[in-house]
Amino acid sequence: MAEYEACILGLRHAIDLDVQEILIIGDSDLLIHQVRGEWATKNWKMLSYLDCVHRLCKRFIKTEFKHVPRIQNEFADGLATLSYMIQHPNHNYIDHIRIHIYEQPAYYFHVEGEPDGKPWYNDIQRYLKNDEYTKDATSVQFGG
Provide the residue ranges of all domains of the chain, joining segments of one domain with +.
Answer: 2-89+98-130
Which pTM does this prediction carry? 0.53
Half-sphere exposure for 134 (CA within 13 Å, toward CB): 12
120-140 pLDDT per residue, tens: 667 777 778 888 777 766 655
The answer to whether the beta carbons of residues 20 and 60 sit under 8 Å apart is yes
44-67 pLDDT per residue, tens: 888 889 999 999 999 999 999 998
Fold of the 2-89+98-130 domain = Nucleotidyltransferase; domain 5 (3.30.420)
